[in-house]
Every structure is written in C-alpha cells, then in structure tokens.
Amino acid sequence: MVTLVNLRAYWRFLVVLYQFFPLIVAYTRDKRKYLLFGGGRRVTTEMRVARADVLLESLLTLGPTFIKLGQLLSTRPDILPPEYIEVLGSLQDDVPPAPWDESKAVLEAELGPVGEAFDSFDSDPISGASLGQVYVAEYEGEKVAVKVRRPGIEDLVEADLRVIRWSMPLLMRFIGESRAFSLENLADEFGKTIREEMDYAEEAKTLVEIQENFADDDTLVIPEPIPERSDDRVLTMEYLPGTKINDIDALDDRGIDRTELATNLQRIYLQMIVDDGVFHADPHPGNLSVTDDGRIIFYDFGMHGEVDPFIQDKIVDFYIAVANQDVDGILDTLIEMGTLSPNVDRQVMGDVMELAIADARGDDIEQYRVNQILEQVESTIYEFPLRLPRNLALVLRVAGVVEGVCVTLDPEFDFISVATDYLTEEGYREESVQKIIEGVGQQGQKTAQSLFRVPPKLERVLDRADRDNLTLNVRLEDNRGVLDKLAKRLIYGIFLSFGFVSTVIIYALNPENLVAVGAAGAPTGVVALLLWRSFRSRKGIRTTPQFTRQNLKERRRE
C-alpha cells in the first residue's frame, strides 16, 4: 500500500509541476528578468490578479486536496498578497458527486448492507463537497442526514500531502524569510487539518462538544448525531431542514426579526471563540439555516478550530482596544500574541491602524465594522513581518465571514456594539478596567521607589562628570548597512582617484604606448563601474505601500 501511495505521489508531483509550471517561470522571471541573468522586475497589481486567476484554475484542476489548500490559503494574508486572497476567497468546495455505487461501497464497508442499516435511503445526494457528500435516509421512523466520505479520497489526499512536502523547498525560493516561516507552519498544519476533516468520528465529537456548550441556549440548534450509525467514514445525524440564512425574502415571509437573528449569530460566535475555545469554522450561508421559530441551525462541523486560553484573553483585549480606538492597545495585543515582531516600526503600523479605523468609521464613531478594519489591515499584512498562527488566522476569517452574513441580514448591523455589549455583560470590560487600575497602582509604586533610588545615582554621575572621569559607551545600530556602503564608496573613490591620476601620468609621459595606458585605465574603469553600481538602488519584486489615506479611499471605491 505504501509503495502504491508513493508511486501515486510521484505521478501527482509531475501533474502538479505541469499545472504550476507557468507560475514557476513567472516567479523566476521576477527575480531575474531573463531567467538566468539580469535584474528583477516590478510586479504590478494587474499581474498579481492574473496570476491569482491562474492559480485558482490550477487548484480546481488538481482536485479536492488542492481546493482545500486554496481555501486555507485564502485565510492567510501573512503568506499571500491581498490580490491572491481576494481571488482565492471565491474558491468553493463544490464538486460533482461520486457515483452512488462507489458511495454505497463505503457505506456498506462501515455499516453493513444499506437496506439493513436504514429503513430507506435516497441515493441522490443533497449536497456534495470535495471530501464527502450528504444523503437523506430514514432510521427508526425518523429522517436523518448521512454524510459519507468520498470514495478513494484517503489515498489521493496522502499522495497530495507528500507532493506538498516535496514542493516546499521550491516554494521557499520565491518568498521572504518571515513568510517562509508561516508557509512551513501552514504546510504542517494543513495535513493535520484535512485528516481531521476526513475523520467523521472527530467531527461527531466536536459537534457534541459544541452542543453541550449551548445546552441552555435556545437561539440555536445543532443536529443530534446517531452513534450506532456513524463511524470514521460515515456520520449519521438528525435531519434538520430550514430556511437558508441569506434567503431574506423567505425570512421576511416567516416574520423573523433579521436584526435579532444577526445579533444572535454574532453572540454565538463570540461565546464559541472567547468563552468555550472551540468553534464552528465554516460559517458560510450554505452551512447556516433558520428554523420557523427563528433559531439558527448549524451544519457541517468538519472544519473547526480551537483557541487556547492565552489567545482567548488576547482576542478580548483586541476587541476592547478596537472598540476604544486604542491603537497602542491593538499593537501591544498583536505583539503579545506573537503575530507582530516586537521590533516592528510602531509608527508605521500605528498609522495603518489609525487610517483603517478612521476610514472604516462612519459619522457615528460606533458605526464602523470589524470586517472593514480587517480588510484594510489584511491588505497591509503582506507588507509587514507578521506571523499568524493557524487558528488565529481562522478566527480572523470567521469573524469576517460572520460579519458579512450579519450585514446581509441587517445592512445597519453594528458589529462593535454587539461585541462590546457581550464583553460588558460577561464582565470582560470590567476585568480590563481592573487590570488597568492594578497596573497604574503598580506603576505608581515603582515610581515612588524610583524617587528614592534616582537622586543618589544622579549625584554620583554628576560627580564623575565634574572630575572629567565620565565614560559613555555608544552602540551604533546599522541594520541597513549604511556605514558599510559609505566605507565601500570611500574606498572605491580613493582607488578611482589614484587610478585616474596614474592613467593620466602614464599617458602624459608616453602617449604612444596605448598598451600601458590601457593596462592602467582598465582597472580604473572597473572601479568606476563598482562605484556607480553602489549608488544604484536595488531593483526587484516591489510592493506599493497600502497605508496612505488616499489608497484606502481608492480601495473602498473599487
């Protein structure tokens, strides 16, 4: 079996290489204008969009594993430029269903003959995806939904995961060091994620856990799994029909309050992420429906995320900082989460945050939306050394998708207001104020201690200065190599002057001896060329800063 998987992986590697060859050539030319020599070239927004379209078509052609990879990449603005994120965001996990005979073989391998396992079974799937498809059946007189893993998907996924690992060294050649770190993490996590999504026993476990977390909440309903008709490759659960959450006309016909519905959806996700630490990670409208009495139905828990307590606390701090328009608080939270380097230019990032918040804000200061802020900030993430942990990137994407659904339900929906009310009700803002008060108290105590320690130290320093016995050690930071460049230019200038004078003297003494003149002039010419090159600005793959107010306005109008 291992040999067959390896052989399939070798073949898939060739197929993948063939699909991505045009992009490989394009990226190679970016670094070297003529592939083997020459300077780099500027990459425009139009070129990135065109390449993102090519990448999208290649991922669709390569099938289930790469469709899932594209969906995951669409949540990682720390790896791809915003143009790619926008194009890959349209990637739908919707493929033609597998033949019934093949799905039936999977069912019977897990549960025995279909006629014995179920009272009746409709062989036409009601939904199909890259990893599985859903059928409707009857079990013990009740309608049930039966999710069946796509036949043969395991071997294909394992072969493709090998191909992705083999391709990593090649991909590293085209991205920077910080993005290489993120890409390696993504590759490691992708294998874990897609295997979890294929494991229906794991999905059932997540479903039950979230169901228990909301046992006392009557604003949502989660289908009940049926363990005796479920296994690793088959998940049978309660069948819950409803109205699609984005079917506005149908919701209005049923008299459902859409503002209340949007508020409930937002509060549910806040509880999942901030309180419970496990969340449904695929909240697109196809996975959300509404009962006739206004409760939200959640489908498909295959894609889920977990948030550890530390990140939960930081997310709360982030929400509060955004609500308070506290730019320093936002930056501090990003640094503490490890997504932003402590050495980042805070002034530049602060300008980005301020402009994003100001541009997203309406006339009423509370009427801006987190999704707009995320879009503006994500457009700059590719320009800065950010590293997003997988689940944190998933949280950001989920927040954006949920807010989009809420705005569809109610165009005036105020995401920040709902989040602020929730955090206040749960006591998080009170805790935040208490922490600030405690921090101020500690700072006051340290200041008082310093009042006693500083004067004696200052007196000693002044005494040494008065005796001409004060020594200062200065450490000069030159991260950009400015001093090195100046030193090279100075040396080149000296050699150029010496070579030029020598050449002129030789020519004046013996103008007919061109060989001697050439021997002296040639090295001088080389030095002149080196000096000229040292003043040239390096060219290569360039990006345009995304954080001017005019750019933000233009992006919004587009």
Residue type, position 322, single letter: V
Query: Measuring CA to CA, how many Å separate 421 from each of 117, 323, 348?
Result: 48, 11, 31
Query: Taking a C-beta distance cutoff of 8 angstroms, is the pair 88, 73 a contact?
Result: yes
- 287 DSSP assignment: G
Residue type, position 141, single letter: G
> Tokens 């509370």 map to which residue?
366
The H-or-E segment that residue 113 falls in is: none
From the CB of residue 17, how many other CB atoms can be counted at a distance below 10 Å?
A: 14
The alpha helices in 218-308, defined as continuous H runs, are 248-253, 258-270
Quick one: angle between helices 390-409 and 370-381, nearest 10?
Answer: 140
- 340 DSSP assignment: B
Query: Taking a C-beta distance cutoff of 8 angstroms, is the pair 235, 200 a contact?
Result: yes
Query: Measuring CA to CA, how many Å separate 42 from each of 39, 47, 275, 533?
Result: 10, 10, 46, 19
Tell how far CA 388 is from the center of its chain.
6
Q: Which residues have a catalytic role annotated? A: 282
| Phi (first) and psi of residue 142, to 5 degrees | -115, 145
Query: Measuring CA to CA, how many Å separate 272 from each of 43, 213, 224, 442?
Result: 41, 8, 18, 34
List the Cα angle 172/174/175 in 5-degree steps.
70
- Token pair of 450 as six digits: 């310093």
The H-or-E segment that residue 447 falls in is: helix 428-466
Report d(CA 63, CA 155) in Å as an integer.
13
> Tokens 């204008």 map to which residue?
33
Query: Taking a C-beta distance cutoff of 8 angstroms, is the pair 137, 146 a contact?
Result: yes
- Token pair of 150 as six digits: 């796509």
